[in-house]
Amino acid sequence: MLPFLALCLALVFLAGPLLAAVKDSACISCHEGPAYRETKEGKKEAVHFNRQELSDSIHKALGCTECHTDVSAVPHQEELGRVDCNRCHGEASLRFERGVHGKALKRGDKDAPSCTSCHGSHRILRVSDQRSPVNRANQVTLCAKCHTDVEMQKKHNLPSDMIKAYENSVHGRFLKEGKTVRAAVCSDCHRAHDILGPKNPDSSTNRVNIGEVCGRCHVQIYSEYKVSIHGKALKEGKMESPTCTDCHGEHTLTLVKDPQARVYARNVPTTCAKCHENQEIIRKYRLPSDRYSSYVGSFHGVAMKYGNVTAANCISCHETHRILPAADPESSVNGQNLPRTCGKCHPTMKDVASIGKIHVEARKESSLGMYYVRNFYTWFIGLLMLLFLGYIVLDIYGRAKRRGKGNG
């Protein structure tokens, strides 16, 4: 140990003053050996550098002081500053500072990740390199390191179930199967550097922006959604209007075929009913009421309830993503298009001139005939029951009375 330190000192004394900048060889001369520093607690901490680490790093051509800028002489001061990636990666740094992680770091939060927490320090690999922790294949594991930590969740009030839900989601399963291109990973939706909370209007996961985020991969679906009544309403600032995640779920999203999915044929009516049976929303936007109840009581609704998933549900007629108001001549439920829409399942209906009201509530205002026939029968059956029961009671009474007389 002593001879080594002596050598270091000798080198510094000899070479230091002669050179304007510190050469890598000078750094290595100490840090490739067992150099250490004392921490505040008095423990020895290795500040060992392994040349091997740099060999496949994207930064291997850089000299030590290009990042460790505060080293101007050897030996250097005991405490070095944090490496500032901003010098070269200005845009990424700027974005990072805007995000929740960057803000937390600025606040001095010890748990907040910095550049190196995700990208590594000396062995920084290209994002496209399969070995990089931020590569699509490894990203979820990287984020999970903090986001599945129960202590961390409690301390910072983080959602607890999202990684697990993601792993079971269709994206998570694709990832597991190695279909990394098809699987959306954390940064695809949350962005890489400027990660923001969903309430922030600039956030990629804010209600208003989610469509666009999903639409980056699901191009066709997004183009349909954009022109739909839901897509337009959300754009107009009607925040209750559903976006992708309201029907498909966020981290939980599964394939349509999955019976657990909110968009599985059998679950579609209840998913739509969440808003379309919500009296507050119905009143606020003057939506037609009883859409769900009139469906559930119909043949389609009953058949669906008992597991006949080929029966029509909401989206069979109203379309899936391109839902348009009935007044729109383009709408699948516009009177003129109904024969074609019904004709999807009932081929003979294609040539029918007009079909008429589909959601029938048997109310006085909307379906007068049905209302009266139903009321007539309800009263008639009630009256019949009364007459029959009255007859039976009377019959038994008369019989008992006559028998009493006969005996007496």
Partner 1 sequence: MANKDDYIQRFTVSERITHILLFSSLIILSITGLTLKYHESGLAQWIIRMEGGVLFRGKIHRLAALILMGTFAYHILSIIFSRRAHAFFQDMIFRKDDLSCFAAIFKYNLGLQKELPAFDRFTCIEKFQYWAVGIAVVLLSASGLVLWGETLFMMVFPKWAIDLNHIIHSFEATVGFVVLVVWHLYNVHLNPRVFPMSKVWLTGKVSKEELKRDHPLEYERRFGNGQE
Q: Verify binding: residue 309, partner 1, rule CB under 8 A.
A: no
Q: Choose the stretch contacting partner 1; rule: CB under 8 A; options: 99-107, 170-178, 183-191, 301-309.
A: 301-309
Q: Which residues contact 110 (CB under 8 A, 6 or more apart)?
A: none
For 279, the token pair is 């009296």
When binding is defined by CB under 8 A, the residue of 3, 369, 406, 408 that contacts partner 1 is 369
Q: Contact 85/95 with Cβ under 8 angstroms?
A: no
When binding is defined by CB under 8 A, the residue of 4, 13, 36, 377 that contacts partner 1 is 377
Least Cβ distance, residue 349 to partner 1 (angstroms): 6
Q: Considering the complex, state which of residue 128 and residue 354 has its C-beta at the smaller distance from partner 1.
A: 354
CA distances from 280 to 60, 191, 211, 224, 253 (A): 61, 34, 24, 27, 27
Q: Considering the complex, state which of residue 36 and residue 377 has its C-beta at the smaller distance from partner 1.
A: 377
As a whole number of angstroms, the distance between CA 375 and CA 381 comes to: 10
When binding is defined by CB under 8 A, the residue of 55, 69, 278, 378 that contacts partner 1 is 378
Q: Verify binding: residue 362, partner 1, rule CB under 8 A.
A: yes
Of 305, 301, 311, the closest CA to residue 345 belongs to: 311
Q: Choose the stretch contacting partner 1; rule: CB under 8 A; options: 65-73, 162-170, 237-245, 365-373.
A: 365-373
Least Cβ distance, residue 330 to partner 1 (angstroms): 22
Which DSSP string do the residues of 49-70 spell out, in sequence order?
Answer: --HHHHHTSTTTTS-HHHHSTT
Q: Verify binding: residue 340, partner 1, rule CB under 8 A.
A: no
Q: Verify binding: residue 358, partner 1, rule CB under 8 A.
A: yes
Q: Verify binding: residue 351, partner 1, rule CB under 8 A.
A: yes
Of 75, 69, 79, 65, the closest CA to residue 17 belongs to: 75
Q: Verify binding: residue 360, partner 1, rule CB under 8 A.
A: yes
For 113, phi and psi rounded to 5 degrees?
A: -75, 145
CA distances from 381 to 32, 56, 243, 352, 393 (A): 97, 87, 48, 36, 18
Q: Considering the complex, state which of residue 154 and residue 346 has its C-beta at the smaller distance from partner 1.
A: 346
Q: Contact 227/236 with Cβ under 8 angstroms?
A: no
Least Cβ distance, residue 374 to partner 1 (angstroms): 6
Q: Choose the stretch contacting partner 1; rule: CB under 8 A; options: 126-134, 227-235, 269-277, 367-375.
A: 367-375
Q: Considering the complex, state which of residue 81 and residue 382 has its C-beta at the smaller distance from partner 1.
A: 382
For 260, phi and psi rounded to 5 degrees?
A: -85, -15
Q: Choose the stretch contacting partner 1; rule: CB under 8 A; options: 124-132, 171-179, 245-253, 384-392.
A: 384-392
Beta strands of 105-237 (E only): which ranges?
Answer: none
Residues near partner 1, by CB under 8 A = 302-303, 305-308, 346, 348-349, 351-352, 354-358, 360, 362, 367, 369-370, 373-374, 377-378, 380-381, 384-385, 388-389, 391-392, 394-399, 401-402
